[in-house]
Amino acid sequence: MKTFPMFLRMDGRRVVFAGGSEEIARKIRLIRRTEAAILICTPDPLVPELAVLVAAGDAVHHPRWPDARDLAGAALLFVATGDDATDVELAQLARRVGVPVNVVDRPDLCDAYTPCIVDRDPVVVAIGTEGTAPVLARQIRAGIEATLEPGLGRLAALAGRMRGMVEDHVPKHRRRAFWEWAFAGRPRHLQAKGDGAGAAITLRDAALSGGAPDRDGGWIALVGAGPGARDLLTLRAMQRLQQADVIFYDRLVDPEVLDLARRDADRVFVGKEVGAHSWPQDQINATIVAAAWRGLRVVRLKSGDPSVFGRACEEIEAARAAGIAVELVPGITAASAAAASLTRALTERQATERLVVATATCKPGDRADLGAAFAPGTTLALYMAMHRLAEVEAELIAAGAPRHCEVEFVQQAGSAGERILRSTLGRMAADAAVAGLRNPAVILVRWPKEGMVELAGDLPRLRDRPLAVGGTR
């Protein structure tokens, strides 16, 4: 290591900037997150952002280059004067008076480099590459940003405030376990959900009782895995996956999403898919509740959005009935993923201004009654319909929908095996059979408001679009 990372104290100190350009403004934006006073020294005009800062009294401006008096006791000097000779001179001056200097884009003149920063104040992660690969540093930062939830700094600050209390009440040999629990268990989970008061109360109660609870009253998160591609997962979903002790997942959940879980987390396949061998719902409910009851952090991972045809309601009720904290983390539902695959909106102004999300599969004995949901001005997004296409077609036509309504099938939207078929209502079952489309697929049927939009090209149009592994294109 040519450089050594340290955190500099900034409260009550001054940082000096030689220059008033955009480059300097970028550094000032960073330093403004600290408590340091900002002194800008330059005879040149300031960019508007800095002029506003000075006018508001948030920075002081001297219309000349900095001298030894400006630098006395300063924490840092940043230099970007626009003139090489002046840059060198100021770097030498800083060195003479013992102030670390950073000359923008001149690593050879620098004593100090600015890292890439993940800011969860007071938790700060700094990434440096000694100037070799700033783009890599930014990529690493993006990865860390995604795993540290926004409330994490508040939890750290809370821990800081409670340190004395913990020392008073938690015996020394239990302290480490206490803090491990605080940052990985229920307090962190509560804070991540935005319940800072809950986190504080949980921590205080545990401290007063002499240590972390033996059983951390686990939790259940019903997490949307999206349509398959891991970059269609929410950041919150990713955080829950990384916190989970055990993950119960469905058939439709893509392995690349599951890979994001902690390596030592248990993965339990509950095999839910229409018609396929699967656990009965009651057994799933009982099992996830029992796991949370044992103190485990349980993720129930469901394809798409857990609140869409995911039997979330039963699992939420089971958790509530057992007094277990339960949370729903939304995901991208199949219809949204299909729209993205088609690069076509689900609703189109003046043509289809109503979106109906429906399943063609109900409890045995019930009728889906799709006709009742379909009317002019509607896009019908049909889930679980592939095994009864002929009935769906007949039912919609019987409801008065024109046979030439546009139909789009998207099989495995958003993942590597994606296939798209365009057809019309009157021949959708036949076209899908010829193309050999299979589950999982979502079907969009559009019945525009007035008249029919003429379809371009010959039907059916089938597009097989093998994607690169990873779903990126």
User: Residues in the site for ligand SAH, rule: CB under 6 A?
Assistant: 227-228, 252, 274, 302-305, 308-310, 333-334, 337-338, 383-384, 410, 412-415, 439-442
CA 283 to chain centre: 30
C-beta of 330 vs 376, nearer to ligand SAH: 330
- Catalytic, 272? Answer yes
| Nearest-angstrom CA–CA distance, 271 and 279 | 7
C-beta of 151 vs 228, nearer to ligand SAH: 228
Which residue is at the shortest CB distance from ligand SAH?
Answer: 304
C-beta of 166 vs 442, nearer to ligand SAH: 442
C-beta of 20 vs 228, nearer to ligand SAH: 228
The answer to whether the beta carbons of residues 15 and 39 sit under 8 Å apart is yes
- Closest contact distance (angstroms) between CB of 1 and ligand SAH is 46
- Catalytic, 250? Answer yes
- Closest contact distance (angstroms) between CB of 310 and ligand SAH is 4
The encoded tokens of residue 66 equal 């900095």
C-beta of 298 vs 334, nearer to ligand SAH: 334
Considering the candidates 70, 272, 302, 431, report the single residue annotated as catalytic.
272
C-beta of 114 vs 439, nearer to ligand SAH: 439
CA distances from 364 to 14, 218, 259, 269, 360 (A): 73, 35, 35, 25, 12
Q: What is the CA radius of gyration of the chain?
A: 30
- Closest contact distance (angstroms) between CB of 382 and ligand SAH is 7
Strand partners, 313: none
C-beta of 86 vs 359, nearer to ligand SAH: 359
C-beta of 66 vs 227, nearer to ligand SAH: 227
Give residue for tokens 């590459």: 129
CA 75 to chain centre: 36
Considering the candidates 87, 216, 245, 250, report the single residue annotated as catalytic.
250
Q: Which residues are catalytic?
A: 250, 272
